[in-house]
Amino acid sequence: MAHILVVEDEQPISDLITMNLKLVGHTYSKVYTGSEVAGMLEQERTDLILLDVMLPGLDGFEVMQQIAPLRIPVILITAKNALSDRIRGFELGAEDYIIKPFEILELLARINVVLRRNEQATPAFICDAVEVRFPERQVRVDQLPVDLTTREFELLEVLIRNRNIALSREKLLELAWGYDFAGDTRTVDVHIRQLRKKLGWEERIKTVFKLGYRLEVQV
């Protein structure tokens, strides 16, 4: 997982974001003003910045200009939804731009996309005898390779990156298959069953692997 700096002056929003970052396995630091960002980045490694635009003191755009030489990926989070603001953000180097109010699952999904794009996320996830290597799209059980279909791997990755968050079938389809999926939502159950079988989690899943969907769908 990644270490993420949250720059948000509204504490309830900051707390909501950091709570969910922790749930899915990321670590975080948080500051409430733009003037604190540079000092924080000098103190610790940061893989991604979630940056509010409307901050006291230095605003988000000014912060981006200040930290540009560090080349750290930035997702802007703001209530300013004018096209000119979005264009300015992207011209300054923002990886993404999300408008308040937002769904926390959408933010987590966008974080995952940016981390994958910049290869800042931890490359492997290990649980019991199972090892998942994201860059290579490889899965091993007891050191032996497991053959997953593209859909199975995409679903597994979504579950891992959103672990400890309860995801509906519809949300899993949206995150793993995309918005244009037109099939039966029960297809998630079929893929979950196949994952449990291939990874050897049919008997011990409840104590070994705690994911949002729990890999415990009854089919």
Question: What is the full DSSP assignment across 103-137?
Answer: -HHHHHHHHHHHHHHHT-S-SEEEETTEEEETTTT
Query: Which band of pLDDT confidence, cut at 50, 70 and 90, is reported for residue 27?
Result: very high
Give the mean model confidence (pLDDT) for residues 139-150: 91
Mark residue 11 as left, alpha or beta (left: phi above 0; alpha: psi -120 to 50; beta: remaining): alpha
Q: Are 134 and 157 in contact (CB under 8 A)?
A: yes
Quote the CA–CA distance of 8 and 73 in Å, as a whole number.
16
Quote the CA–CA distance of 70 and 68 in Å, as a whole number.
5
Q: Mean pLDDT check: name the lowest of 1-15, 19-33, 38-52, 114-128.
A: 114-128
| pLDDT score, position 51 | 97
Mark residue 144 as left, alpha or beta (left: phi above 0; alpha: psi -120 to 50; beta: remaining): beta
pLDDT digits (tens, 9 = 90+) for 145-179: 999 998 889 888 888 877 767 778 888 877 777 75
Radius of gyration from C-alpha coordinates of the chain: 19
> Does the global pTM surpass 0.85?
no
Query: Which band of pLDDT confidence, cut at 50, 70 and 90, is reported for residue 134?
Result: confident
Amino acid at 108: L
Q: What is the DSSP letter of 36?
A: G
Query: Which band of pLDDT confidence, cut at 50, 70 and 90, is reported for residue 181?
Result: low
Query: Which band of pLDDT confidence, cut at 50, 70 and 90, is reported for residue 180?
Result: low
| pLDDT score, position 38 | 92
- Rounded to the nearest integer, the mean pLDDT of the chain is 84
Quote the CA–CA distance of 214 and 219 in Å, as a whole number.
13
Q: In what order do the strands lie in the sheet with 124-127?
A: 124-127, 130-133, 138-141, 144-146
| pLDDT score, position 139 | 93
Phi/psi of residue 124, nearest 5 degrees: -140, 150
CA atoms in the 13 A half-sphere facing the CB of 92: 24
